Each structure stands twice: as structure tokens, then as C-alpha cells.
């Protein structure tokens, strides 16, 4: 237990040491998204399901903050450790791989949730100022669930990519060519009801679509997918990404960059 | 019980650039007795670091067996890791944490909570205590080396692996580090070290193994190695003022020499012997 506690403490202390870069910077991005898309452009966007666009956007931005920061937390932890040699210390200590994965997963959930919650609070302020009403959470327990699984999936994915990556280019290529399109096409900014049926079908192949909509259901009480499907897909996501991270730690290279 | 048993270790890996398989270790075997300082010597690229990485599980040997105090590194890695402390060749460069935080984390990795007494002792012993609130990037190269040694010792390992711990370190610090290593030996710790400073290895090590290109060339005491592979210089100062120099195997005694060169002992005023060094033996061995 002490070993696991130490790993989690290290993960959290690490990102809090550079809080401007790890927490403040993504919150500023979310703030700008809210201001530009939610408040300015959002006023002219009409959704088929009758939800105000700002209300629709806030959960999407929260998930985006959660998953991006969970991914970045674990991947940067691995990469900086490869540079500094810290990873060698962890690898030569009597630490099972599962401890490393769960500790980095929790670190990712913690940082991602911190960014998402602050984004939600800022979003709620905008919501109150624009609509004169507070944004309530419809299903708080499901919200906590999606915070946990969303953070874990992307933190585990971050370990997988960062351990197997041999250069910064490979790491950023994953973010740019896979993570970013999946996030944007997963329904952060749009409801698939407004899309052409072909794009609707393609969106349904995106696992992130279920996570974002599960989160949106927890906040607003309605979303583009059924809750049970979102829960099922996200649970499978946790299992798959956990084993991917396990595979990377077993087979990957720990050579210094 | 032996501290370390290395049994026919082979390591082959694919060199993707050259497109061929490379045999980094070609069946290395040697033992380290409990409480010994053992030197693993060899030129750059000999396979020393690969062997240390295999003992610490950073590399998996292709075949062979590694036992740490009787436990298999391959079958019970968590058990053997508890008994091993390692100082890697490359210095750490973590930018986030202070010396105190790093030692606290390192203790935690070995399941030790609130290890303040041991950490303070090591920081004092390695002259790091006054710098304990500094981050690694604020430390000099020598301080980073000392921090790496402190990290390796927080859990009081039974076997310490030192992979070139004095590389790039000034003379004064090198001397103090070796003195500390000697103290650890006196406390009963077994130590495997690699170094390019052969004079120091000769003075400190109870046993040495020489490897080159993945092959074991010698395994024994430094004294045996010098006797087997180096030569001594005999300088005879004759009564008539003449000086004669002979370079011979360390195994050749004075009597044999005099017989061999037909020298009358009555004509000799003085004899000087310059003994062979480990460095000479090493150079001869790796160039064979």
C-alpha cells in the first residue's frame, strides 16, 4: 500500500509543481471556447433536441478537459521520466506494473477532473450570466462514474503511447492525428442529430462519442445515446486500455531519450 | 550463501539499424561471495551495463540464470529487487523534485514509510544534507552522483550495484566515494562495481571479472590476474656500476632469472622490482 500511495503522491505532486502549465493553461483554453463558441456563436445555434447550445457545450468542454489532461498527465510523466532516468528507478524497484498503471491512472483522473470541474464552474457562471439560471447536475453519481472512467481510459492510453513512443514526434503524432479528431468528431461541440446520416453512422464508431454523451447525460439528463450503452462502452474502454498499458510496460523500451 | 550467482548468461538483441542480431553477452558466469567487493571490468561496449541491467530486470537475458542471495531474478523479480540497490551509469536529471522529496519517493518505492532517519543519515554521510531542499537541476555533477548513491541505499540493500559511479567525478570526490564504499563493505554489504579506474579496482576489489565483446576473459582475484597476465620489471644494479633491466612474467622468480641469464649473484649490488599492475594485465587481456 505504501508503494502505491508513493506512486500516486508522486504523480499528483509532479503536475502540481507546474500548475500553470498543467492546470491554468487548459482552463484558459476552455474559457476561450466558452466565450467564443458558447456565448458569442452559440446564441445563433439551434439544436434539434431543444437544449440551449451553451448548456450543451459545457459538458462537452468538461470531457475534453478531462480526457486531454488525463492523457497528457500520464504521457508526460512517462516521457519526462524517460528523459530524467526516473523510470529506471521505478522499474528496478519491487513495484508491480499494475501499481504503476493505476497510480498514473489516478494521477490522470485527478488532474483531468480538476480541469473539468473548474471548466464546469466557469461554464456555469457564463450560463448564469447569459440565461439567468444555474446549470444543475442531473445525475451526480453517473457524473462521478464518467469522471473516473474517462480519466482512467485516457491516462492508460497515455502510458501506452508514451512507453512505446521513441521520439516526441511519435507522441505528438498520436495526439494530432488520432486523439484530436476523435475528440472533435465525438460530439464535444456538436450533436450528431444535426449531422448527415453518414456522419452520424461514422460518429457512432467513435468510442469517445459514448463517453462524451454519457457525461452529457449525467449533466443534462439527455444525450445522443442510451446511458447503458455509454456505460458498457466506457467499461470496455477501461479494460482494453488497461491491458494496452500493461502490454507497453511489459514489452516497451525504458531506454533514456 | 552467495550474494550473486551469474550462470551462463546470454543476451542477444536485434540491431535494427545494422539489420542483424548482436550477441551482447555470450555465456557469462561468475559468483560474488557475501561481503565482497567485486569488480566487473571491460572496455566500453563490453557488456557490463547489459549484465547489470539484467540483474536489475531492466533487460531480460536470452538464456542463463541469475540468483541474488539464492533467489532467481527471472522467477522472483520482486523478491530480488528488494535486496538490490543500483547506481546507474547515467546521472538522473529530474527537474521537479528536491533531494529530500526524491529520497522520500525512493523509500516509498521499497515500501518504507517515513524513512527520515535513514535518509538524513545518507544525506549527512554523502554531504547532501545542506542541499536537501535543492532540485536536481540545481546540483553539480558530483552532487548528482552522490544523490544516486543515496537513492540506491535508502532501503539498505544487501547487494549494491555500482555502474561506473565515479565517471566524470573529480579526484577528491572519487576518493571519498571509494572510502564510503569500503565502509559499506565493512557493514557487510556485497558490492558489484564497474569502473575504468583499474588502479582503484586493484586496491578495492576482492574479486574481478574481465569481459570483452560479451565474453568472460578472466574471473579471479586481482592478484591472480596480475600474476597471470602482467609482467614485472627487474632492475639489477651490478657492483661494477652497470644496470641491467629484464621484463619477465610475474611468475618468474629471481633465482630463475639469474639462472636464465647466467648472472652471478655475487656481482649484484642491488635488485629493484617493479611489480606488474592490474592495468597492464587488463590491457594485455583485452588486446589478445
Please answer whether residues B35 and B189 qualify as being in contact, where contact means their C-beta atoms are separated by less than 8 angstroms: yes
Question: ipTM for the complex?
Answer: 0.83
Q: What is the pLDDT of residues B167-193, one digit of tens each?
A: 777 888 888 888 899 999 999 999 999
For A48-66, give one letter per residue: b (16+ CB within 10 A) or e: eeebbbbbbbbbbbbbbbb
Q: Cell 635488485 maps to which residue?
A: B271
Question: Which set of grid coordinates corresponds to residue A71?
Answer: 492523457
- B interface toward A at CB cutoff 8 Å? 56-58, 77-79, 81-82, 84, 86, 88, 90-97, 101, 104-113, 136, 151
Record: contact B109-A83, CB cut-off 8 A = no
Which of A83, A85, A89 is closest, CB to CB, to B109? A89
Q: Which residue of A has its CA nearest to B53?
A: A92
Between chains, do B109 and A90 touch, taking CB under 8 Å as contact? yes
Query: For residue A7, which residues of chain B lie inside 8 Å, CB to CB?
Result: 108-109
Q: What is the pLDDT of residues B109-126, one digit of tens each?
A: 999 988 989 999 999 999
Residue with grid cell 444535426, as numbered in its chain: A194
Query: Where are chain B's structural domains?
Result: 33-61+79-220, 227-287
Choose from B109, B133, B152, B192 for mutation: most chain A CBs within 10 A. B109
Interface touch A88/B58, C-beta < 8 Å: yes
Question: What pLDDT, in 10s, does the model give residues A18-37?
Answer: 888 888 888 888 889 888 88
DSSP string, B8-43: EEEEEEEETTTTEEEEEEEEEEEEEETT-EEEEE--
Contacts of B84 in chain A (CB under 8 A): 92
pLDDT of residue B205: 92
Q: Do B109 and A9 lie within an 8 Å CB cutoff? A: no
Question: What pLDDT sits at residue A148?
Answer: 96
* 8 A C-beta contact, residue B25 and residue B55: no
Residue B281's pLDDT is what? 76
pLDDT at residue B67, rounded to an integer: 96
What is the 3 state secondary structure string of chain A? CHHHHHHHHHHHHHHHHCHHHHHHHHHHHHHHHHHHHHHHHHHHCCCCCCCCHHHHHHHHHHHHHHHHHHHHHHHHHHHHHHHHCHHHHHHHCCCCHHHHHHHHHHHHHHHHHHHHHHHHHHHHHHHHHHHCCCCCCCCHHHHHHHHHHHHHHHHHHHHHHHHHCCCHHHHHHHHHHHHHHHHHHCCCCCCHHHCCHHHHHHHCCCHHHHHHHHHHHHHHCCCCCCHHHHHHHHHHHHHHHHHHHHHHHHHCCCCCC
Instruction: Tell me which of B60, B66, B96 to substitute to probe the interface with A (most A C-beta atoms closer than 10 Å).
Output: B96
DSSP code of residue B78: H
CB-nearest to B92 from A13, A18, A84 is: A84
What's the pLDDT score for residue A48? Answer: 67
For chain B, give the longest Cα–Cα distance: 76
pLDDT bracket for residue A113 (50, 70, 90): very high
The class (CATH top level) of B33-61+79-220 is: alpha beta
> In whole angstroms, what is the distance from residue A60 CA to residue A45 CA?
15
Chain A positions touching B111 (Cβ under 8 A) are 2-3, 94
Q: Quick one: cell of B154?
A: 535508502
| Nearest partner of A187 among A47, A72, A22, A40, judged by Cα | A47
Question: How distant is the Cα of B67 from the closest Cα of chain A, in angstroms?
Answer: 16
Contact A94 B57 (CB under 8 A): no
pLDDT value at position A257?
A: 64
Instruction: Evaluate if residue B217 carries a pLDDT over 70.
Output: yes
Please name the helix (run of DSSP H) or strand (run of DSSP E) that holds residue B65, with its range, or none.
Answer: strand B63-68
Residue B30 and residue B208: Cα distance in Å, rounded?
9
Through-space distance between the first and last CA atoms of chain B, rounded to whole angstroms: 35
Rg (CA), chain A: 18
Residue B288: predicted pLDDT:
58
List chain A residues with CB under 8 Å of B15: none
Q: Which of B89, B90, B94 to mutate to test the interface with A (most CBs of A within 10 A)?
A: B94
Whole-angstrom distance, CA of residue A58 vs CA of residue A105: 24
| Under 8 Å between Cβ of A57 and A36 | no
> Does the distance separating the beta carbons of A94 and B110 come in below 8 Å?
yes
Cβ pair B34, B2 in contact under 8 A: yes
Please state whether A162 falls in left (phi above 0), alpha (psi between -120 and 50) or beta.
alpha
Please tell me whether residue B272 adopts helix, strand or coil conformation.
Answer: strand
Query: What's the CA gap between A252 and A6, in Å, rounded?
Result: 23
Are the Cβ atoms of A86 and B92 closer than 8 angstroms? yes
Mean pLDDT across the stretch A110-129? 92
What pLDDT is recorded for position B268?
Answer: 85
If phi > 0 it is left, if psi is from -120 to 50 it is alpha, else beta; for residue B287 that is: alpha
The pLDDT of residue A204 is 86
The pLDDT score that the predictor gives to residue A256 is: 66
Query: How many interface pairs between A and B have CB atoms less than 8 angstroms apart?
Result: 78
What DSSP designation does B229 have? H
On chain A, the residues whose CB falls within 8 A of the CB of B109 are 3, 6-7, 89-90, 93-95
Beta-bridged to residue B67, according to DSSP, are B5, B72
Closest CA to B105 of B147, B164, B161: B147
CB–CB of B92 and A14 under 8 A?
Answer: no
Query: How far is it, in rounded angstroms, from Cα A98 to Cα A7?
Result: 11
Amino acid at each position: 500500500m505504501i508503494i502505491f500511495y508513493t506512486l500516486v503522491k508522486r504523480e499528483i505532486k509532479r503536475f502540481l509543481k507546474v500548475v500553470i502549465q498543467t492546470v491554468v493553461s487548459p482552463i484558459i483554453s476552455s474559457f476561450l471556447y466558452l466565450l467564443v463558441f458558447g456565448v458569442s456563436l452559440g446564441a445563433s445555434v439551434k439544436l434539434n433536441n431543444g437544449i440551449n447550445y451553451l448548456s450543451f457545450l459545457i459538458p462537452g468542454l468538461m470531457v475534453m478537459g478531462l480526457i486531454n489532461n488525463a492523457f497528457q498527465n500520464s504521457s508526460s510523466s512517462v516521457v519526462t521520466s524517460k528523459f530524467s532516468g526516473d523510470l529506471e528507478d521505478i522499474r528496478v524497484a519491487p513495484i508491480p506494473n499494475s501499481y504503476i498503471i493505476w497510480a498514473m491512472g489516478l494521477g490522470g483522473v485527478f488532474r483531468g477532473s480538476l480541469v473539468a470541474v473548474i471548466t464546469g464552474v466557469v461554464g456555469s457562471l457564463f450560463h448564469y450570466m447569459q440565461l439567468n439560471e444555474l446549470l444543475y447536475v442531473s445525475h451526480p453519481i453517473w457524473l462521478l462514474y464518467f469522471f473516473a472512467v474517462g480519466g482512467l481510459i485516457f491516462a492508460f492510453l497515455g502510458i501506452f503511447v508514451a512507453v512505446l513512443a521513441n521520439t516526441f514526434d511519435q507522441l505528438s503524432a498520436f495526439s494530432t492525428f488520432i486523439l484530436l479528431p476523435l475528440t472533435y468528431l465525438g460530439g464535444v461541440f456538436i450533436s450528431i442529430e444535426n449531422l448527415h446520416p453518414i456522419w452520424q453512422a461514422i460518429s457512432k464508431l467513435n468510442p469517445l462519442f459514448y463517453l462524451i454523451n454519457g457525461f452529457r447525460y449525467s449533466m443534462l439528463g439527455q444525450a445522443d445515446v442510451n446511458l447503458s450503452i455509454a456505460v458498457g462502452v466506457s467499461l470496455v474502454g477501461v479494460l482494453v486500455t488497461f491491458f494496452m498499458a500493461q502490454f507497453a510496460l511489459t514489452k516497451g523500451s525504458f531506454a533514456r531519450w | 550463501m552467495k550474494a550473486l550467482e551469474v550462470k551462463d548468461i546470454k543476451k542477444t538483441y536485434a540491431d535494427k539499424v545494422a539489420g542483424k542480431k548482436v550477441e551482447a553477452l555470450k555465456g557469462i558466469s561468475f559468483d560474488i561471495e557475501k561481503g565482497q567487493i567485486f569488480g566487473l571490468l571491460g572496455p566500453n561496449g563490453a557488456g557490463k551495463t547489459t549484465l547489470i541491467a539484467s540483474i536489475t530486470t531492466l533487460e531480460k537475458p536470452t538464456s542463463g540464470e541469475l540468483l541474488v542471495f539464492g533467489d532467481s531474478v527471472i522467477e522472483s523479480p520482486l523478491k530480488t529487487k528488494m535486496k538490490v540497490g543500483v547506481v546507474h551509469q547515467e546521472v538522473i536529471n529530474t527537474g521537479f523534485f528536491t533531494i529530500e522529496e526524491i529520497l522520500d519517493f525512493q523509500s516509498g518505492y521499497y515500501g518504507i514509510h517515513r524513512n527520515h532517519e535513514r535518509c538524513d543519515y545518507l544525506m549527512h554521510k554523502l554531504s547532501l544534507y545542506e542541499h536537501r531542499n535543492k532540485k536536481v537541476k540545481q546540483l553539480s555533477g558530483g552532487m548528482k552522483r552522490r544523490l544516486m548513491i543515496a537513492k540506491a541505499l535508502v532501503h539498505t540493500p544487501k547487494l549494491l550495484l555500482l555502474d561506473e559511479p565515479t565517471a566524470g567525478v573529480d579526484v577528491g570526490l572519487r576518493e571519498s566515494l571509494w572510502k564510503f564504499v569500503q565502509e559499506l563493505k565493512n557493514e557487510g554489504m556485497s558490492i558489484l562495481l564497474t569502473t575504468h579506474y583499474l588502479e582503484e579496482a586493484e586496491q578495492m576489489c576482492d574479486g574481478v571479472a574481465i569481459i570483452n565483446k560479451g565474453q568472460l576473459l578472466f574471473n579471479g582475484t586481482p592478484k591472480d590476474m596480475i600474476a597471470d597476465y602482467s609482467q614485472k620489471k627487474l632492475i639489477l644494479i651490478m657492483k661494477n656500476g652497470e644496470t641491467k633491466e629484464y621484463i619477465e612474467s610475474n611468475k618468474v622468480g629471481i633465482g630463475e632469472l639469474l639462472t636464465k641469464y647466467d648472472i652471478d649473484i655475487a656481482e649484484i649490488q642491488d635488485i629493484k622490482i617493479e611489480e606488474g599492475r592490474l592495468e597492464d594485465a587488463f590491457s594485455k587481456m583485452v588486446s589478445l
